[in-house]
Chains A and B, each alone.
Chain A
Amino acid sequence: MMKATAWMGTDSVKVIDVPDPKIMNARDAIVRITTTAICGSDLHLYHGYIPAMRKGDILGHEFMGEVVEVGPQVRNLKPGDRVVVPFPIACGHCSSCQRGLYSVCENSNPNAGIAEKIMGHSPAGIYGYSHLLGGYAGGQAEYARVPFADIGPLKVPDEVSDDQAVMLADVFPTGYMGAEMCDIKPGQVIAVWGAGPVGLFAAASARLLGAERVIVIDRFPYRLRLAEEHIGAETINYEQADVLDTLNEMTAGRGPDACIDAVGLEGHHGNAAMYAYDRAKQVARVETERPFALRQAILACRSGGVVSVVGAYGGFVDKFPMGAFMNRSLIMRTGQCHVQRYTRPLLERIQRGEIDPSFIVSHRMPLRDAPKGYKIFQKKQDDCTKVLLKV
């Protein structure tokens, strides 16, 4: 038996005893987890916004550790290897995987039938992220089964720490892809909504990719401070300033060349009435998302610019400003991160010292304290940006 963090219902997680994972497919590996993280998107599960969760589901899609067992078809890994595991489960052989679109792998969701009914086509399976996305046990546990271990996991050299490497499972590549999709040219101004881990990495990546100025929008001063101090970004606190006016001012009326939504479906709004409108619809289940950041990013973006969406959405959005989007020739690019594409190049950037992604870590605690970790991350207590669970 092992310890694992399980979803027990809305706003409830527990560390429970479950059987040890075993090889189920020939390309599986079993990893003894050393470090795992709570993701902002885990909070969407915690809050009950993602359908098809079952009591007892093991959570967690950001994890790394040591390989302890490999299936007969896994030849690139051996027990003892230290690896970080990308959150999308991808087979590597379907057309999508071969085009580098790992997060829309055509084979890794055994529950593709339900996903198709909601989304038209099914995306890839994800560890610990509902039965809609496969019903895979997650990695906030002592051990995890890793399918397609010959494709996903990246070996981590000794000089890179757990705290750095675990960022490669999701948040760093996700932020990086958000910036990459902006197709940044010299002299460009990039605005990022959300100063959580993904937003901070999107801002840092925009810098790495040559943005002239990066502007980060959030409401938590401690997070905006991280953006200023570690990334050299300018910041807007949307509870203190009008975002559209401020952005127009900062860009002399042009608007940012690209806008990154790193907030997703649980946005907040400076105007209480605006927040109440979408919150009420969400509670009544007539709208599944609160897309404030997305609406604002579209209105703010320079005509002909790119709106890059890496914040997580699950369902349907109301009051989408299609008129602005269409009439101003905007481009939207989006997707769950194709992590497998980015792990190696980003590891190399860490090794070259271009970035130390552990700067976002605010809390480290033992796995048994996972319920506390969820609580303080949810409440943004104690200047919480990222909680790592040590096993």
Chain B
Amino acid sequence: MTRIDTVLLPELDGPVPATLPSALGLLSLALGVGALVAPGPVARLTGVDDSPSARAVLPAVGLRELGSAAGLLSGRRPAGWAWSRVAGDAMDLTLLGRALADRRGERRRRVALSTLAVAGITAVDVLSAVRIGRAQRARARMIRMEIAVTVNRSPAEAYRFWRDMENLPRFMAHLESVRADDLRRSHWIARGPAGQRVEWDAEIIDDQPNKSITWRSLPGTRVPNAGRVRFVPAPGDRGTEVRVELRYAPPAGALGRVVAKLFGEEPEQQVRDDLRRFKQVLETGEVVRSEGSPNGISVRQQAMQRPAQPLPTSRR
């Protein structure tokens, strides 16, 4: 994952962005250090201080925890390391179960409390591992695009047109409408070829007049997506290089299939067409239409061109 992805799509790191694996790692670190440095007090606390074998096992458990901590804090393969914690939890529960069987009185009470605590931690670990895994898979499905077009207009003109988010459906084919709720927030409605609708709210998270606009869907949307457009003066006084980066993470399942259809089989080509239409609107005033392509430029339509004849009145 590149740095831009984390700027654009924090949702992909799950409900506790990027910090969930680290939090688990710190927990492992604390437990591991405790078990290694102070096996005596830990044994007393958990009610197993009467067993020599428990005193021998505790540092081993501490080492295991340090291993998990190192893995989780390294940031690599967080889902795997989160599951390593679950495995450790299972081992601890087994040991505690055995300890519970041959203890009575105060020690039995302490072992039971420890068992309850570990069971709670296990639940948190399982939940976290599932979430981290889901975020990783979403990230693997994420579609990234970087496409550019040169427009014979100044960066200020190109920026002004794009900054009015309600203009976006004029050149983005899959959008039915964008409603600006205020200067930052907007509500987007996209429509697929078979009429399926997908809606989300987005906010502008970085706005540099005449230079760039960065937006992303609000947390909680089912189709996390984000984009950045930069308006770079084209060399040789040839207008503006409009450079667009888009990220979106289609969910799994039926909604994912709808989203996939929205962008077609060649999502890059579709965005390229969007930028061509942007250029047409800025340079000529509107999307250019022909009798064969009455809705303007569209790869989807190129496959099913109508003959180059005037349209029957009913189609206008």
Contact = CB atoms under 8 A, between A and B. Distances in A.
Interface of A: 4, 6, 18-22, 24-27, 52, 54-58, 73, 91-95, 98, 106-108, 110-114, 125, 128, 131, 134-138, 145, 147-148
Contacts of B284: 27, 91-94, 107, 148
Contacts of A138: 308
Nearest to A92: B284
B239 A26 contact: no
A3 to B, nearest CB: 12
B310 A21 contact: yes
Chain A at the B interface: mostly helix, strand, loop or mixed?
loop
A36 to B, nearest CB: 15
Given A22-B316, A27-B284, A95-B238, A110 B289 contact: yes
Nearest to B307: A56
A49 B309 CA distance: 21
Contacts of B312: 19
Contacts of A21: 291, 310
Contacts of A27: 284-285
B40 interface: no
Contact of B279 (A26, A106, A110): A106
B305 interface: yes
A110 B308 contact: no
Given A93-B283, A93-B284, A95-B152, A6 B290 contact: no
B252 interface: no
A111 B293 contact: yes
Nearest to B297: A110
Interface stretch (B10-18, B159-167, B204-212, B269-277): B269-277
8 contacts: A26-B285, A56-B308, A58-B308, A111-B292, A111-B305, A134-B290, A135-B308, A145-B291
A131 B311 CA distance: 16
A329 B239 CA distance: 35
9 cross-chain pairs, A with B, having the tightest CB-CB distances, nearest first: A135-B292, A56-B307, A110-B293, A21-B310, A57-B308, A137-B291, A91-B284, A19-B310, A93-B283
A128 B291 CA distance: 10
A215 B143 CA distance: 60
A121 B276 CA distance: 13
Interface string B290-316: 111110111100100111111111001
A113 B290 contact: no
B308 A91 contact: no
A137 B152 contact: no
B286 interface: yes
B313 A19 contact: yes
B280 interface: yes
Given A27-B285, A91-B288, A113-B273, A58 B309 contact: yes
Contacts of A24: 289, 294
A26 B272 CA distance: 24
B299 A18 contact: no
B305 A135 contact: yes
Contacts of A107: 279-280, 283-284, 288
A18 B293 CA distance: 17
A286 to B, nearest CB: 26
A5 B309 CA distance: 10
Contacts of B283: 91, 93-94, 106-107
Contact of B309 (A57, A114, A147): A57
B92 to A, nearest CB: 60
B150 interface: yes
Contacts of A113: 269, 272-273, 276, 297, 299, 302
Contacts of A111: 290, 292-293, 297, 302, 305
Nearest to B269: A113
A140 to B, nearest CB: 12
Nearest to A108: B288
A125 B313 contact: no
Interface in B212-239: 238-239
A94 B307 contact: no
Contacts of A135: 290-293, 305-306, 308
A128 B308 CA distance: 7
